[in-house]
Amino acid sequence: MATATVRTLRESSPVTVGVLTAPSSASPPNVNIINLKVLDGNGAGSDSGVIAAIQRAIALKSTYNIRVINLSLGRRVYESYTQDPLCQAVEVAWKSGLVVVVAAGNFGRDNSTHTNGYGTIAAPGNDPYVITVGAMRTMNTPQESDDRIATYSSKGPSLVDHIAKPDLVAPGNKIASLLSQGSTLEQKYPGDVLNPITYGDYSGQDSYIKLSGTSMATPVVSGAAVLMLQKSSGLNPDAVKARLMKTADKMFPTQSSTYDQFSGVTYSAQYDIFTVGAGYLNIPAALSNNDTVSGTAMSPVAVRNLTGTVSLQADSSSVWSNSVVWGNSLIWGTSVVWGNSVLLNGTSVIWGSSVVWGNSALDGCSVIWGSSVVWGATLGATDAGSAAESIDGSGDDDGE
């Protein structure tokens, strides 16, 4: 049972999804799930545990036909992805042929450094190779036109490297999935356990719970990747990522506001490239796309010049350098920043010097674009704690 319904095209050989933490909220039929547990009963773990599981998935990929790794976990960014062992581990998996889908993180409400939630992408979602997923709210309706970004969904760019993230967004608020009875989540959020009668079960046995967070949105995209691989088994990870991003829906409001009844705070969101990435997951469109992908699909870097203007800089090896099929306006749309044109006179400028915080002199600006990371003096990145920080308790109100 899930908000997002995923349909599959069957092949004789099933595709496997390696899930490294929470139960999947979207699992297509004819799919095997290899569950490599890396977090304890309280949702905490270590980099070394996650890395060991990734290495295990790589070792078993031929044995079990593993094609996708779902990482519904994350931690703060402490250093460049080029030096971070966790990021390097997901890159090895990616380059071995595994599609790696990662939660963006749930720090979108964090304004402790006056960035309004910008610059809060979690690791390893800050790695440019992987598919990083933010969370949307379905507003408890079947149509997508009223869907809104979840207030807790982490925003880019990534700290230190300024990678443009997330790559896309998917439903992640109040997603119903299997309940592990007696678990910490059940004890912590008893109000989110679904009444069995809701799904036609009159046994009185609780079996499902509603959870919210980018960790719930991530397996929706993993499921989409599986469908693509079931249809076209020869696709490599970069082709899967590029097609998902290109075909993502790019129709969003300019901004939205959400009142949180628990904190009494109203959160405002602006639908820019660092909030929704390339757009809202569109599975039928992704399955219908047959564009050839030559090169990597590394997420571009957001570069800020001396005047404060920010533009996208694609890696020379990436498919984004082909402006005919994979140009910026096709992938990220033409109006995903503040209702103004993302591409100014055909260039890749995404906003001016004072759009994000209203004043480029505000301290939030130096947090994101400065040379130092400000999350604390103790880094411990060699074995920092990883956690299901992409689960956000009861989530946002969906109008239920």
Domains of the chain (ranges, CATH numbers): 15-174+212-374 (3.40.50.200)
User: How confident is the model at residue 3, as a pLDDT?
Assistant: 19
The stretch 91-104 carries a mean pLDDT of: 97
Length of the chain in terms of residues written: 400
The C-alpha angle with vertex 217 and arms to 398 and 162, in degrees rounded to 5, equals 110
Give the DSSP letter string of 100-140.
EEEE--S-TT--TTSSTTTT-PPBTTTSSSSEEEEEEE-TT
pLDDT at 356 over 60: no
Phi, psi of 65 (to 5 degrees): 55, 45
Q: Which is it for strands 44-46 and 31-35: parallel, antiparallel or unpaired?
A: unpaired
Check whether the bond before 23 is cis (ω within 30° of 0): no
Closest CA to 60 of 97, 9, 30: 97
pLDDT at 70 over 50: yes
- The beta-strand segments (E) located in the chain are 15-19, 31-35, 44-46, 66-71, 99-103, 131-137, 148-149, 168-171, 175-178, 208-211, 255-260, 265-270, 301-304, 310-313, 349-351, 385-387
* 94 contacts: CB under 8 Å, gap ≥ 6: 100, 129, 130, 237
Closest CA to 169 of 156, 182, 186, 188: 156
- Range of weakest confidence among 17-31, 217-231, 383-397: 17-31
Residue position matching structure tokens 């990220």: 332
Confidence of residue 241 (pLDDT cuts 50, 70, 90): very high
Confidence of residue 369 (pLDDT cuts 50, 70, 90): low
pLDDT at 150 over 50: yes
Number of other residues whose CB lies within 10 A of the CB of residue 325: 13
Considering only residues 373 and 161, tell me which one the structure prediction assigns the higher pLDDT.
161
Confidence of residue 111 (pLDDT cuts 50, 70, 90): confident
Q: Could you give the CA distance from residue 324 to residue 328 in angstroms, rounded to a whole number?
A: 10
| Alpha helices (H) along 295-398 | 328-332, 363-369
Residue 78 one-letter amino acid: Y
User: How confident is the model at residue 169, as a pLDDT?
Assistant: 97
Residue 236 one-letter amino acid: N
Confidence of residue 189 (pLDDT cuts 50, 70, 90): confident
Query: Residues 134, 166: contact at Cβ < 8 Å?
Result: yes
pLDDT tens digits along 75-86: 999 999 999 999
